[in-house]
């Protein structure tokens, strides 16, 4: 039998009914956000025709060149979310400080953080890109004052919702509110996200690794040993692994969610904290992977437990199938049986 037709709005409303105390506020945030995602998806699809490719020639807080689509996506999300009355503050990878709700609008009890366009360096070559978001409750829900830095600097395990849109061969929206991970596929002919993959589970073990291996010589030796191990054939046929690396974290994690394996953005000698940003990229992606039964580690600990100290801080990350991430951690501790044989 074919699956029932369920739009994302209906799905969110049904989920919300399971909480008798729910006010519907949360559903309205997601409704506003999906409007922004539909607009970004439309603009991404037509970018080559509408002068949306290329750079703005501005450099952002991370020292990276801002693309026109980065700026557009940031603005669209702001314009969809600033006046709903549900958020008290936002933060974006593309804005240096906190993004406050204009004083003429009501402030609510939620906080939203986002990476408006992930995979910017891939835009001009028409390679998959995405948008990442997460939502927290503000620390003191009784307040109606502007949200603060502390509201943004919450550890990832406190996310009440996390998700991403991936603008690939189709547009998909993946999200969790702590009740599993559901995937919706956008039908452009009716303008709706329809539930296409309910309750996705990541395979416990995979056969793909995903990392920018060009930095191999800058890695710590134990990470080098792990990647060498993945490439060495084994008698049980599990290895060698295949290498896949898009260079868009959303796309690499999305593939890992469906096929299993491990996605890594490690620290290295030049950048000990790696590149990915804890608040806008790592935490939401980690929440999705964890909710789907996988793991997300900074090499020794669960990334969702990190207490952030800076809105733009970076962290090394290794996420994907639980057995793969556990094996990687074993290597980084120098405790894998094959390492002991060599050391």
Which residues contact ligand AHG by CB under 6 A? Answer: 64, 93, 115, 118-120, 212, 247-249, 265, 275
Partner touching 263 among ligand AHG, Mn ion, none, CB below 5 to 8 Å by kind: none
- Of 18-26, 61-69, 90-98, 123-131, the window that binds Mn ion (rule: CB under 5 A) is 90-98
DSSP state of 224: H
Helix (H, G, I), strand (E, B) or coil at 185: strand
Distance CA 289, CA 200 (A): 10
Nearest to 165 by CA among 54, 36, 31, 278: 36
Residue in the structure block whose two tokens are 């450099």: 59
Q: How far is the CB of 92 from Mn ion (least distance, A)?
A: 9
Partner touching 48 among ligand AHG, Mn ion, none, CB below 5 to 8 Å by kind: none
Q: How far is the CB of 119 from ligand AHG (least distance, A)?
A: 5
Binding residue count for Mn ion, defined by CB under 5 A = 5
> If residue 288 lies in a helix (H) or strand (E), which one and from where to where?
helix 283-291
By C-beta, is 93 or 192 nearer to Mn ion?
Answer: 93
Q: How far is the CB of 201 from ligand AHG (least distance, A)?
A: 23
- Of 91-99, 221-229, 321-329, 335-343, the window that binds Mn ion (rule: CB under 5 A) is 91-99
Distance CA 216, CA 306 (A): 26
By C-beta, is 9 or 43 nearer to ligand AHG?
Answer: 43
By C-beta, is 226 or 265 nearer to Mn ion?
Answer: 265
115 binds Mn ion (CB under 5 A): yes
By C-beta, is 275 or 336 nearer to ligand AHG?
Answer: 275
Q: How far is the CB of 153 from ligand AHG (least distance, A)?
A: 20
Interior/surface letters 276-312, b for 16+ CB within 10 angstroms, e for the rest: bbbbbbbbbbbbbbbbbbbbbbbbeebbbebebeebb
Within the chain, what is the greatest distance between any pair of CA atoms?
67
By C-beta, is 8 or 91 nearer to ligand AHG?
Answer: 91
Distance CA 53, CA 237 (A): 44
Q: How far is the CB of 4 from ligand AHG (least distance, A)?
A: 34
Partner touching 247 among ligand AHG, Mn ion, none, CB below 5 to 8 Å by kind: ligand AHG
By C-beta, is 120 or 283 nearer to ligand AHG?
Answer: 120
Asked if 73 and 261 count as a contact pair (C-beta separation under 8 A), the reply is no
173 forms bridges with which residues in the sheet?
A: 165, 184
Q: How far is the CB of 90 from Mn ion (least distance, A)?
A: 15
Rg (CA), the chain: 20
Task: Find all residues with CB under 8 Å of 244, minimum gap 6, and list them.
Answer: 208, 209, 210, 252, 255
Residues 278-317 that bind Mn ion (CB under 5 A): 281
By C-beta, is 201 or 258 nearer to ligand AHG?
Answer: 258
Distance CA 227, CA 332 (A): 11
Residue in the structure block whose two tokens are 């801080």: 313
Residue nearest to Mn ion (CB): 118
Q: How far is the CB of 1 from ligand AHG (least distance, A)?
A: 38
Task: Find all residues with CB under 8 Å of 135, minimum gap 6, and list them.
Answer: 26, 29, 110, 111, 112, 159, 160, 161, 162
Residues 244-283 that bind Mn ion (CB under 5 A): 281
By C-beta, is 139 or 243 nearer to ligand AHG?
Answer: 243
The site for Mn ion (CB under 5 A) is made up of 93, 115, 117-118, 281
């Amino acid at each position: 039998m074919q699956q029932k037709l369920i739009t994302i709005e209906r799905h969110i409303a049904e989920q919300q009914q399971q909480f008798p105390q729910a006010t519907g506020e949360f559903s309205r945030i997601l409704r506003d956000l999906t409007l922004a995602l539909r607009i970004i998806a439309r603009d991404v699809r037509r970018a080559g025709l509408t002068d949306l490719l290329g750079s703005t020639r501005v450099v952002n807080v991370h020292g990276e060149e801002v693309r026109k689509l980065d700026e557009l996506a940031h603005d669209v999300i702001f314009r969809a979310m600033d006046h709903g009355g549900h958020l008290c503050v936002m933060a974006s990878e593309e804005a240096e400080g906190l993004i406050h709700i204009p004083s003429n609008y009501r402030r609510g009890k939620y906080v939203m953080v986002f990476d408006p366009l992930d995979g910017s360096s891939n835009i001009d070559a028409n390679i998959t890109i995405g948008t990442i978001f997460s939502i927290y409750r503000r620390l003191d829900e009784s307040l109606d004052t502007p949200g603060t830095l502390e509201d943004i600097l919450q550890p990832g395990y406190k996310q009440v919702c996390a998700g991403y849109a991936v603008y690939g061969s189709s547009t998909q929206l993946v999200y969790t509110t702590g009740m599993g991970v559901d995937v919706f596929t956008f039908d452009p002919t009716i303008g709706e996200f329809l539930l296409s993959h309910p309750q996705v589970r990541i395979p416990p073990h995979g056969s793909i690794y995903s990392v920018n291996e060009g930095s191999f010589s800058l890695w710590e030796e134990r990470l080098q040993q792990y990647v060498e191990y993945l490439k060495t054939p084994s008698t049980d046929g599990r290895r060698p692994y295949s290498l896949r690396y898009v260079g868009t974290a959303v796309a690499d994690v999305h593939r890992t969610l469906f096929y299993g394996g491990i996605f890594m953005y490690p620290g290295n000698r030049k950048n000990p904290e790696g590149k990915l940003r804890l608040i806008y990229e790592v935490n939401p992606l980690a929440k999705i992977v964890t909710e789907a039964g996988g793991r997300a580690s900074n090499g020794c600990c669960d990334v969702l437990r990190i207490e952030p100290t800076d809105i733009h801080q970076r962290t090394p990350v290794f996420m994907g199938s639980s057995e793969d991430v556990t094996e990687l951690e074993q290597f980084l501790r120098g405790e894998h049986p094959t390492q002991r044989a060599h050391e």
